[in-house]
């Protein structure tokens, strides 16, 4: 939709159009000047401010309008009224000036020709989305006309930054956080991340709020910092000097290293293509896998005697993450990387290469599915008001390819605190008996223009069950075929009974949690509650994470019986070398360094 563009304006202020025209139509002539040298050649001087003749030539009005000369195409003499060449009254549209930026900024073609030709077209440009028909467009028009090339290869276009009330930022209204306070409280990386990860870099508008900035700290900066703190805490306690290594055979180590390789490849692609908001999403997703899965699942390995693989793997991951996210979090990554390596600066290192990290797509896919299973199971626990420390009997996982998850059922059992994990193929009759089904929803707004009044028939069919899904993905509702975008399919779980809870997996399939409780399960749950109480007592006593303790448990008979039954668990989880018991009306613990 490239409409005609009038490049001149009938105004006083602006860049004068360098065109001189004969003032007599009987002797037409038009001169267009492309350099000061040619103007000085024809007029004998350059325009200057008469109040300061020694100053730099001033090409603006009214001084340039004073340059006139006889029309060379008019044979008449001055006495006969020879016509005069006068500059046209117009000035250039300001967008013509702006559109010339790519070459005018270096005074091309009069200077810096080699530099310009080596840097043109520009790699990228960034501005408000409204410049689509402004700066972006005019730069391309001029570059295309002069060089037969685009002015730039990539355009990063952002929306409008609004105050916390959704209105335009205003100093008088003070409807935005004080930037200095944000920097002092949350750091510059928090503000940087908030802006880069927001809809504004996808062309949307952004409402600036203090909560949004703090969410950046909570979701990204703190997880990275806490990962470094965890590593340094245990590495220092073990007096171990970790090194770059991807040789571990442990499944969790292999998973996070392979996941790291995928992360590096994705980040490289996204940043090469200026997909900054997407790179922020990828970073957030990887840090979730690192902190909420790998580190949490591997925590016990870091205080065991054979912890070298865990230390080396986490060191490798953190060092690489710092390098690949340094453009997004330059200050935090610098601090973490220097603390890890003792090096000068993360910003002086080479960009990591994905092909230098071992790949294992099968393991990554399976472990990510296991994470989905655990997330769904955890949600079912929460929905049933069953605390995580209370063990349950069984979780049934129904998926299309259960064999690929079989090696990791012990992880699921430990993560969800269930005694057993059963895998079922989704195609079996037993799986069908759980009553999980697909639900069709017709998008009336999308289908209405095509189907007209018949859209109501399709909606009725979707609600009554009069619809079908063919093997090729074609959906028919009420006898009417629906196109992509006119419907949505959702897998839902039916009510499977009072002692079970069912949840759907994002990647396909579902899980069924046995929520029935027995006295044995409740006793073990009480013992696990005691573990948490002891850990809190250790912290309050100022004990180091590796300190061994002598433990005394006091409480009523039921609590002591549960503790005795699960004494091995209690001692292992709390590093207790001895456990003694005392009757008391309320549950309590006493810890002493052994």
Q: Do domains 364-433+496-517 and 520-593 have the same CATH topology?
A: yes
Nearest to 197 by CA among 216, 180, 177: 216
CA within 13 Å, CB half, 213 = 21
Give Dmax (Cα) for the chain: 128
Is the pLDDT at 436 greater than 80? The verdict is no
Q: Which two tokens stand for residue 495?
A: 């009510």
DSSP 467: E
Residue 400's pLDDT is what? 86
Residue 329 pLDDT > 70, yes or no? yes
Question: Cβ(413)–Cβ(370) under 8 Å?
Answer: no
- Asked whether the beta carbons of 392 and 521 are under 8 A apart, the reply is yes
Tell me, what's the pLDDT at 473?
77
Q: What's the Cα-to-Cα distance from 264 to each of 173, 429, 551, rounded to whole Å? A: 44, 42, 46
Q: Give CA–CA dist 555/588, Å, rounded.
A: 6
- Phi and psi based region of residue 15 (left: phi greater than 0; alpha: psi -120 to 50; beta: remaining): beta
Give yes or no for residue 492 having a pLDDT over 80.
no
Residue 512 phi, psi dihedral angles, 5° rounding? -125, 120
pLDDT digit string, tens, across residues 236-292: 888 889 999 999 999 999 999 999 999 999 999 999 999 999 999 999 999 999 999
Extended strands (E) in 315-374: none
Domain boundaries, the chain: 96-158, 210-359, 364-433+496-517, 437-492, 520-593
CA dist., res. 334 & res. 434, Å (int): 52
Q: How far apart are the C-alpha atoms of 139 and 497, rounded to whole Å?
A: 66
- Contact of 509 with 397, CB cutoff 8 Å: yes
Res. 156: pLDDT tops 70: yes
How far apart are the C-alpha atoms of 537 and 552, rounded to whole Å? 11
pLDDT exceeds cutoff 90 at 86: yes
Q: Indicate if the pLDDT at residue 319 is higher than 80.
A: yes
Which two tokens mark 455? Answer: 């859209």
For residues 469 and 360, give the distance between their C-alpha atoms in angstroms, rounded to a whole number.
Answer: 34
Integer Cα distance of 536 and 554 in angstroms: 16
State the CATH class of domain 364-433+496-517: alpha beta
In this predicted structure, the answer to whether residue 233 has a pLDDT above a threshold of 60 is yes
Nearest to 134 by CA among 157, 112, 153, 162: 157
What integer pLDDT is reported at residue 115 of this predicted model? Answer: 94
3-state secondary structure of 134: coil
pLDDT digits (tens, 9 = 90+) for 444-477: 989 989 989 999 999 999 988 899 888 777 899 9
What is residue 229's predicted lDDT score, i.e. its pLDDT? 95
Q: SS3 for 442?
A: strand
Secondary structure (3-state) at 75: coil
- C-alpha 131/C-alpha 588 separation (Å) is 67
What would the mean pLDDT of 413-418 be, rounded to a whole number?
A: 95
572 contact partners, CB below 8 Å, separation of at least 6 = none
d(CA 81, CA 76): 7
CATH 3.40.50.300 assigned to 210-359: no
Strand extents, DSSP E, 381-540: 392-399, 418-425, 437-442, 467-469, 475-477, 480-482, 487-492, 500-504, 510-514
Comparing CA positions, the residue from 436, 374, 364 lying closest to residue 404 is 364
Query: Among 196, 228, 201, 227, which residue's Cα sits nearest to residue 213?
Result: 196
Residue 320 predicted with pLDDT over 90: yes
Confidence of residue 496 (pLDDT cuts 50, 70, 90): low
The count of residues in the chain is: 594
Q: Which CATH architecture has domain 520-593?
A: 2-Layer Sandwich (3.30)
Cβ atoms of residues 257 and 246 within 8 Å: yes
Which are the contacts of 190, defined by CB distance < 8 A and separation ≥ 6?
Answer: 182, 213, 214, 216, 217, 221
Q: Retrieve residue 46's tokens.
A: 């350059």
Give pTM, 2 decimals: 0.77
């Amino acid at each position: 939709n490239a409409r005609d563009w009038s490049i001149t304006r009938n105004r006083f202020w602006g860049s004068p159009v360098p065109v001189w025209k004969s003032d007599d139509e009987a002797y037409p002539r038009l001169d267009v000047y492309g350099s000061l040298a040619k103007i000085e050649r024809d007029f004998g001087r350059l325009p200057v401010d008469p109040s300061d003749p020694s100053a730099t030539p001033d090409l603006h009005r009214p001084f340039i309008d004073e340059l006139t000369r006889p029309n060379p195409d008019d044979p008449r003499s001055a006495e006969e009224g020879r016509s005069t060449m006068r500059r046209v009254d117009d000035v250039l549209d300001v967008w013509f000036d702006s559109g010339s930026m790519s070459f005018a900024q270096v005074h091309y073609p009069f200077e810096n020709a080699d530099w310009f030709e080596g840097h043109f077209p520009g790699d990228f440009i960034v501005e408000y989305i409204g410049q689509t028909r402004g700066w972006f467009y005019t730069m391309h028009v001029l570059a295309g006309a002069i060089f037969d090339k685009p002015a730039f290869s990539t355009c990063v276009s952002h929306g409008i930054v609004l105050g916390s009330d959704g209105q335009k930022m205003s100093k008088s209204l003070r409807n935005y956080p004080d930037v200095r306070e944000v920097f002092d409280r949350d750091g510059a990386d928090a503000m940087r991340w908030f802006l880069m990860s927001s809809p504004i870099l996808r062309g949307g508008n952004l409402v600036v709020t203090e909560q949004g900035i703090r969410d950046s700290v909570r979701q990204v900066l703190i997880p990275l910092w806490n990962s470094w703190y965890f590593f340094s805490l245990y590495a220092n306690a073990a007096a171990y000097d970790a090194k770059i290594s991807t040789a571990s055979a442990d499944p969790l180590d292999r998973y996070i290293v392979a996941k790291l390789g995928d992360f590096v490849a994705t980040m490289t692609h996204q940043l090469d293509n200026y997909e900054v908001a997407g790179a922020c999403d990828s970073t957030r997703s990887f840090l979730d896998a690192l902190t909420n899965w790998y580190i949490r699942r591997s925590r016990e390995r870091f205080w065991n005697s054979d912890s070298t693989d865990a230390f080396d793997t986490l060191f490798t991951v953190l060092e690489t993450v710092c390098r690949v996210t340094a453009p997004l979090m330059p200050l935090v990554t610098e601090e973490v990387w220097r603390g890890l390596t003792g090096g000068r600066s993360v910003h002086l290192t080479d960009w990591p290469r994905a092909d230098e990290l071992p790949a294992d797509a099968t393991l990554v896919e399976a472990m990510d599915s296991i994470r989905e299973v655990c997330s769904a199971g955890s949600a079912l626990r929460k929905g049933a008001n069953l605390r995580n420390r209370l063990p349950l009997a069984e979780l049934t996982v129904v998926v299309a390819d259960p064999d690929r998850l079989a090696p990791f059922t012990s992880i699921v059992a430990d993560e969800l605190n269930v005694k057993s994990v059963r895998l079922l193929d989704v195609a079996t009759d037993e799986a069908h008996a759980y009553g999980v089904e697909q639900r069709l929803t017709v998008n009336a707004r999308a289908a209405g223009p095509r189907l007209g009044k018949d859209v109501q028939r399709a909606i009725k069919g979707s609600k009554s069950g009069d619809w079908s899904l063919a093997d090729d993905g074609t959906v028919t509702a009420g006898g009417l075929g629906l196109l992509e975008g006119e419907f949505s399919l959702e897998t839902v779980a039916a009510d499977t009974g009072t002692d079970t809870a069912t949840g759907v997996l994002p990647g396909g399939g579902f899980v069924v949690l046995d929520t029935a409780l027995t006295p044995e399960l409740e006793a073990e749950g009480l013992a696990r509650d005691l573990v948490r109480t002891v850990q809190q007592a250790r912290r309050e006593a100022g004990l180091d994470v590796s300190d061994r303790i002598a433990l005394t448990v006091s409480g009523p008979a039921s609590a002591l019986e549960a503790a005795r039954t699960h004494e091995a668990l209690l001692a292992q989880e709390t590093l207790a070398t001895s456990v003694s018991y005392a009757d008391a009306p309320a549950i309590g613990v006493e810890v002493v360094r052994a």
